[in-house]
Copies of this chain bind each other. A is one copy, B any other.
Amino acid sequence: MIARRPRERGVTIEDVARAAGVSRQTISNALNAPHRLKAETLERVSAVIEELGYRPDQSARSLKSGTRRIIAYPTPVDDPANPNPLMGGFLEAVVAASGEAGYRILLVRPRPGQSQEQALDELIAARTVDGFLLSDILRDDSRVAHLTSTGFPFAAFGRTLPDQPQSWVDVDSVQAVIDLVGLLAARGHRRVAFLASTSGQPWMDDRRDGFLAGVRRHGLAGQVYSVPGDDPGEIVTATRDLLAGRNRPTAIVAGGDWLALGVYTAARAHGLEIGKDLAVAAFDDLPITAFLQPALTTVRLPLRRIAEALISRLLQIIEDGVTPQAGLMLPGELVIRPSLGP
């Protein structure tokens, strides 16, 4: 059995606050909601953070005794034969970021017959975990509402409501799709379409809103096509329908890479060459998109940055008792590949 090595006492948020002559909350804002601070305050605080080498999300962070150093992550149900690579990538990034801070991830799922809330309560009551990491946040997320009411620490990949803790991190999907539409407009496209799934997921709505905003901004003719569910056959049928109409679009933005796979199949069936007769762009940058022919233009989620920010925010609540005053919106990364055309 090994002896645990003593940890160096790192620079704490209190040290930084004292040295800068401001409150802990101001230090937290400088790190998590810089727009809340006056420029001169931000500059001064940043200089002190730099000078003292304060790293809130590293293992130098003070580790309060008594914490279990376990973060619960309620995992979405997946298909073992075709797992969501985005989820796998997110989990890897979360394990790495929490590991650096000395925390481990407990995968939790309601027991048979248990609601999500009951599963959360069971973990809180058993004092198994220090906090929760949530993903796939819905508009009216019952898990967020429940953890808000219990006051238990959590961070969320996806926005919470204004009256809930703003411990969220999200990707600016609206802006990313506006940018995609801008690229299409610059390439001369005038008739464009958006292919959405009607699942009611907030991120899909954001992508559609970005499409509509981009269409307005560039004065394009834009239509939105919705596919019920995720079934590949239905995606192909909907796209064939879209391509068969008069005034067919010269470019399609799919709300997700999965939908774009159906666009490829449908375009082939219509004898349209993607990247030449039809421009296609999508969202998520699943690993498969680079192998499509032609490779797919898409939007990559900065999973490492998302995971690091989530863990940093969650540990700030757990260890320092400081809840971020504002959410953190990160930009998506456009990955331009031949499907967009010349």
Contact = CB atoms under 8 A, between A and B. Distances in A.
A240 B68 CA distance: 53
A111 interface: yes
A186 interface: no
Interface string A1-41: 11010000000000000000000000000000000000000
Interface string A302-313: 011001000000
Interface in A263-292: 285, 287-288, 291-292
A78 B104 contact: no
A119 to B, nearest CB: 10
Contacts of A300: 81
A87 interface: yes
Q: Which of A90, A104, A292 has the most CB of B within 10 A?
A: A104
A303 B59 CA distance: 35
A91 B124 CA distance: 24
A92 B111 contact: no
Copies of this chain present in the complex amount to 2
Contacts of A112: 59, 100
Interface string A83-122: 1110111111101100110101111110110000010011
B109 A106 contact: no
A10 B79 CA distance: 29
A175 interface: no
Contacts of A148: none
A324 to B, nearest CB: 23
A88 B84 contact: yes
A214 to B, nearest CB: 26
A330 interface: no
Given A89-B80, A104-B106, A99 B118 contact: no
A261 interface: yes
Contacts of A92: 75, 77-80, 83
Interface string A288-327: 1001110000001001100100000000000000000000
A65 interface: no
Contact of A291 (B93, B122, B285, B292): B292
Contact of A105 (B1, B82, B107): B107
Given A107-B107, A112-B59, A89 B81 contact: yes
Contacts of A224: none
Given A291-B261, A292-B291, A118 B75 contact: no
A70 interface: yes
Which 5 pairs show the lowest CB-CB distances between chains A and B?
Answer: A83-B88, A88-B88, A80-B89, A80-B93, A78-B92
Interface of A: 1-2, 4, 59, 68, 70, 75, 77-85, 87-93, 95-96, 99-100, 102, 104-109, 111-112, 118, 121-122, 124-125, 128, 261, 285, 287-288, 291-293, 300, 303-304, 307
12 contacts: A1-B124, A4-B122, A59-B111, A70-B128, A80-B304, A82-B89, A83-B88, A83-B91, A91-B107, A100-B112, A106-B107, A287-B288
